[in-house]
């Protein structure tokens, strides 16, 4: 058997192909095979060379078309063929992307692995909306958490710590459980009128924003029914976002919250 290939865990960024790193672009253009997640958009996959095999292994909530164990095996088999493999993940491969699991599994079997970081969904969504994740006087820290547990297991987050008023909280994969998350945070002392910005398809032409507060955001998102995964930015900074003309924004702010913040209503 020839020399074993290498697996590159590559972050595809939040969706806009222009937000790829230069190294990510170089690795994609030089790949023999690309194994990609569901959230990697066609515009990024189109950068692959014509000779490259492109293998989708995406997962949707509640539906894992290719189990994680099989994904690990696919990467191992391709590397054993001596191929240059790009494992392409939305956002950053080490932020809720199972990149650490895949790297450990492959390295334990003698496969060389390197990591190319990507702009996280949190960073991309915040920048696109003009929301500073930290801001002097409003947010002295930021925390990324998952709003979903594998197999529907109960959420066991650090509710007390997450309820701190000067911490920006970014919740990935939280749409299904957002009502519970909000109740838990409010029960631990986070104000119900804390601004929340929910963003779907961030940085892409289909981006949609829903501006609400912690007590009402779950209902606002349910009514708006945005397509694609939703990311939630919780904290006073969420009210500082840009108000671009033509950008779809669903206004889910109750009147009293809007008056407190001095935020103008969206059409």
pLDDT in tens, 31-69: 999 999 998 999 999 999 999 999 999 866 555 578 999
Rounded Cα distance between 238 and 211, Å, is 8
The catalytic residue among 89, 92, 173, 213 is 173
Cβ density class 210-245: b for 16+ within 10 Å, e for less: bbbbbbbbbebbeebebebbbbbbbbbbbbbbeeee
**Which residue range(s) make up the domain with 78?**
6-116
Judge if pTM exceeds 0.85. Answer: yes
Q: Which of 120-124, 130-134, 248-252 has the lowest mean pLDDT?
A: 248-252
Choosing from 96, 116, 136, the residue where a domain stops is 116
Predicted pLDDT of residue 1? 47
The catalytic residue among 32, 59, 206, 251 is 59
Choosing from 116, 140, 159, the residue where a domain stops is 116
Residue 247 annotated as catalytic: no
User: Is 28 found in the same domain as 75?
Assistant: yes
Cβ density class 84-101: b for 16+ within 10 Å, e for less: bbbbbbbbbbbbbbbbee
Predicted pLDDT of residue 65? 73
Residue 59 annotated as catalytic: yes
- Count of structural domains within the chain: 2
Quick one: tokens of 173?
A: 């994969």
The average pLDDT across 225-238 equals: 93
DSSP string, 181-248: HHHHHHHTT--TT-EEEEEESTTSTT-EEEEEETTTHHHHHHHH--SS-EEEEESGGGGG----TT--
Choosing from 86, 116, 146, the residue where a domain stops is 116
Beta partners for residue 33, in sequence order: 53, 85
Residue 154 placed within a domain: yes
Residue 1 placed within a domain: no
Residue 173 annotated as catalytic: yes
Given a cut of 50, is residue 162 above it in pLDDT? yes
Rounded Cα distance between 248 and 246, Å, is 6
Cα 111 to Cα 3, 8, 53, 73: the distances in Å are 10, 11, 19, 12
User: Is 97 found in the same domain as 20?
Assistant: yes
Quick one: how far is CA 254 from the chain centroid? 27
């Amino acid at each position: 058997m020839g020399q074993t290939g290498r697996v590159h865990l590559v972050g595809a960024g939040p969706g806009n192909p222009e937000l790829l790193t230069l190294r990510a672009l170089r690795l994609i253009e030089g790949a023999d095979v690309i194994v990609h997640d569901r959230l990697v958009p066609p515009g990024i996959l189109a950068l692959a060379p014509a000779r490259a095999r492109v293998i989708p292994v995406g997962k949707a909530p509640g539906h894992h078309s290719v189990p994680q164990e099989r994904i690990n095996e696919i990467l191992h088999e391709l590397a054993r063929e001596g191929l240059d493999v790009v494992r392409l993940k939305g956002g950053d491969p080490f932020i809720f992307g199972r990149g650490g699991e895949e790297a450990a599994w492959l390295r334990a079997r003698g496969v060389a692995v390197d990591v190319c970081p990507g702009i996280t969904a949190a960073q991309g969504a915040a920048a696109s909306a003009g929301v500073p994740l930290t801001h002097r006087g409003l947010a002295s820290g930021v925390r990324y958490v998952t709003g979903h547990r594998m197999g529907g297991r109960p959420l066991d987050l650090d509710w007390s710590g997450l309820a701190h008023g000067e911490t920006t909280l970014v919740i990935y994969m939280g749409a299904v459980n957002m009502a519970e998350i909000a109740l838990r945070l409010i029960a631990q002392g986070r104000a119900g009128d804390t601004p929340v910005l929910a963003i779907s398809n961030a940085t892409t032409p289909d981006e949609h924003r829903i501006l609400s507060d912690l007590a009402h955001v779950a209902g606002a998102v349910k009514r708006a029914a945005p397509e694609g995964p939703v990311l939630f930015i919780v904290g006073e900074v969420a009210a500082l976002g840009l108000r671009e003309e033509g950008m779809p924004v669903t206004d889910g702010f109750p009147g009293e919250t809007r008056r407190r913040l001095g935020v103008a209503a969206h059409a």
